Structure 1
Amino acid sequence: MRLLGNLLWLILGGFCMGIAWWIFGVIAFVSIVGIPWGRACFVIGLFSFIPFGKEAIARDELTWKKDIGTGPLGLIGNIIWFVFCGLWLAIGHLFSALVCFITIIGIPFGLQHLKLAGIAIAPIGKTIVSKEVAWAARATNASAVVAGKRRHT
């Protein structure tokens, strides 16, 4: 089912938006200063080509460790990203989502475009994993939070 979804996805805007991510990645690499953003563009561009079965998750939610991308510098990086690239990629995904929402069969694809638009706004500090890994990380985090609340009551 994931294979069929990903094949239809490429036709319904995924291919064009994946190329757009990679174009911004090349521009970022050419600027030298933008190499960290360029790397993220290529990773998320690949995710944009094959989104079904995968999910973006915050790295600190996955690893329980703060790093440069999940702290204050990550916030600054996301602001710079949004101004130069993120806004345009988010608009592209929003436009693609609207086109997909025209038909009933396109609704799941439109929802994927909306997820990618959210990632386009702030990709620094995120990583792409399988849905199962994301679910397991969130379940573990939820259990830890509940256990911590129980200790404090």
Structure 2
Amino acid sequence: MRLLGNVLWFLLAGWWLAILYAVAGLIACVLIVTIPFGIASFRLAGYALWPFGRRVVVHRGAGVPSLLGNVLWIVLFGWELFLAHVLAGLLLCVTIVGIPFGVASFKMAGLALVPLGTRVVDADRDELPGYRVAAA
């Protein structure tokens, strides 16, 4: 079932959302100082490309550097990616078949705003020490 969900997601929205994340990652890496943002963006590109069967966990002790980085991320790249996810979610919710994919896109929109301090892991994996499962 995950394979079918991932293939449909890829065809409907995943490929272009992943391209947006990859472009944001390339721009962040070119700016040198924002290379950590580029790494986070590439991680999210993989998640946006093939999300089913994986989950997001949040580091409990990410702290102030992660918070400040997320604020800077929102200003530089996050709001555009957030709007892309909301647009994809709205377009996917037009059909009954697309509603579950639209809901998934809306969930990813929050992650597009604050990616630092998170990690994408397999859904079957036990909880990592120092991490908690992100709110669904």
- What CA distance in whole angstroms lies between the structure 2 residues aligned with 1:10 and 1:27? 23
Any stretches of 5+ residues in structure 1 without a counterpart? 61-65, 143-153
Q: Give the letter for the 1:101 counterpart.
A: C
Structure 1 moving runs of 4+ over 4 Å: none
The size of the alignment, in residue pairs, is: 130
2:59 alignment partner in structure 1: 59
1:66-88 C-alpha deviation (Å, 9 max, x unpaired): 2xxx1011100000000110000
Three-state SS of the structure 2 residue aligned to 1:104 is coil
Equivalent residue for 1:112, pick from 93, 101, 104: 104
Q: Give how far 1:57 is off.
A: 1.1
Q: TM-score by structure 1 length?
A: 0.81
1:100-139 paired onto structure 2 within 5 Å: 100-133=92-125, 136-137=126-127
1:36-64 C-alpha deviation (Å, 9 max, x unpaired): 0000000110010000011111023xxxx
2:76 is aligned with 1:84: yes
Q: Give the letter for the 2:127 counterpart.
A: A
Three-state SS of the structure 2 residue aligned to 1:47 is helix
Q: Give the letter for the 2:78 counterpart.
A: G
Any stretches of 5+ residues in structure 2 without a counterpart? none
- What CA distance in whole angstroms lies between the structure 2 residues aligned with 1:29 and 1:137? 30
Q: Give how far 1:116 is off.
A: 1.2
2:20 alignment partner in structure 1: 20
Structure with the higher helix share, 1 or 2: 1
Determine which structure has more spread, i.e. the larger CA radius of gyration.
Answer: 1
Higher RCO (CA-CA < 8 Å; seq separation 6+): 2
Three-state SS of the structure 1 residue aligned to 2:124 is helix
- What CA distance in whole angstroms lies between the structure 2 residues aligned with 1:94 and 1:124? 20
Q: TM-score by structure 2 length?
A: 0.91
Three-state SS of the structure 2 residue aligned to 1:57 is strand
